[in-house]
A and B are shown apart, each in its own frame.
Chain A
């Protein structure tokens, strides 16, 4: 094994272990630094994401079926609160818990991932950069167990 190989092997094996320990190289916020809410572009962009997301859902036959009894105005308001809240913006989420909202809906893994795709489309249309999109998705990802198969 040459020196180059040894180095590569060391990087491959040590880096993941270090990463598992700290989970993120840039995810945590230090006081006074820019929040994800600011990075997204604040309230106007979050509202745009919500509108685009609702529009994307309305064009998706499978996902829109889950919203046929939904009060869309309320959904929009609570979604905006939630996106603002998870991105460390100046909002409180006043909606129901994710677990309560998705109860008896039996959302499949397929539908969940499809909805993630629609959210990505919504963010792209709102001009959110790839890297900022990833950070917002990382904040929302832990909600998955409360959403699918209930």
Chain B
């Protein structure tokens, strides 16, 4: 499906409301969609689940995200399905363009997440979910060239804890997430998995902190630790500052400033991030 058709479907389907549609969660509690297609912030998968399904409902959502840095462009789009506020399944396609060489890498990500404990707002302890992101590189040329040990596919595993504190920050609601990810991925998997410096799974820390300025706006920061497996170029951690606009349970829009660090020898890859998520039911 082309992107234009995807957006058309989004616009046509968004207002549809069905009896069993996912609308049972409180606004903002589905989060937004992170770069690999899981519910989260922008870079970090959270314990929240995509869609507004409560425990008697299902949900479906689509998203598109674009990040532009000095030398690269990353376009990510996909869909997620939610079941009973328990399970999230997602499928995402990413294309990564190297601006100077007009080279393009693409990757598919299949994600699954299960909520194992709690409710982001109501439980005493944070909501906890476990998830996996299976990544399949469609163009392996570059991953091979830079010395990745595995250039076909790899899987990330993570456990995430997310909690909202009502009125906790001078009356504003505060949301935080902590995620631990086991991964071998080089640059999110776009440069393959494992390398000459390291070829085993490492635990990476990721986190987000956001203040809900109103029922519709969230302002936050994120940090995502990344492995540094390849000898040919240093890989750095990523961070962002974001503003999410969540006016209703039909769609949300996130703008951010992202710092992806050094990518394949090109330093200081910073730039704007824009992401749109639409909820079909």
Interface residues of A (CB under 8 A from B): 1, 5, 8-9, 11-13, 15-16, 19-20, 23-27, 108-111, 113-114, 116-117, 120, 129-132, 134-135, 137-138, 141, 144
Residues on B with beta carbons closer than 8 Å to the beta carbon of A113: 24-26, 54
Can you name 12 A-B pairs with beta carbons within 8 Å?
A: A5-B236, A8-B221, A8-B239, A11-B221, A12-B178, A15-B176, A19-B165, A20-B125, A24-B165, A131-B170, A131-B171, A144-B122
- Could you tell me how many residues of chain B have their Cβ less than 8 Å away from some Cβ of chain A? 40
Q: Given that A11-B209, A130-B214 are known contacts, is A109 also in contact with B170, CB under 8 Å in the complex? A: no
Residues on B with beta carbons closer than 8 Å to the beta carbon of A27: 167-168
Minimum Cβ distance to chain B for residue A72 (Å): 26
Residues on B with beta carbons closer than 8 Å to the beta carbon of A117: 26-27
Main SS class of interface, A: helix
B168 is contacted by which of A26, A114, A120 (Cβ under 8 Å)? A26
Q: How far is the CA of A19 from the CA of B23 in the complex (A)?
A: 30
Indicate if B56 sits at the interface (CB-CB under 8 A): yes
Q: How far is the CA of A13 from the CA of B222 in the complex (A)?
A: 11
Q: Decide if B23 touches A1 in the complex (CB within 8 Å).
A: no
Q: Decide if A12 touches B207 in the complex (CB within 8 Å).
A: yes
Q: How far is the CA of A120 from the CA of B28 in the complex (A)?
A: 14
Q: Decide if A110 touches B23 in the complex (CB within 8 Å).
A: yes
Q: Decide if B167 touches A131 in the complex (CB within 8 Å).
A: yes
Indicate if B57 sits at the interface (CB-CB under 8 A): yes
B167 is contacted by which of A8, A13, A114, A135 (Cβ under 8 Å)? A135
Q: Decide if B178 touches A13 in the complex (CB within 8 Å).
A: yes
Indicate if B169 sits at the interface (CB-CB under 8 A): yes
Q: Decide if B239 touches A138 in the complex (CB within 8 Å).
A: no
Residues on A with beta carbons closer than 8 Å to the beta carbon of B125: 20
Residues on B with beta carbons closer than 8 Å to the beta carbon of A26: 167-171
Q: How far is the CA of A25 from the CA of B27 in the complex (A)?
A: 23
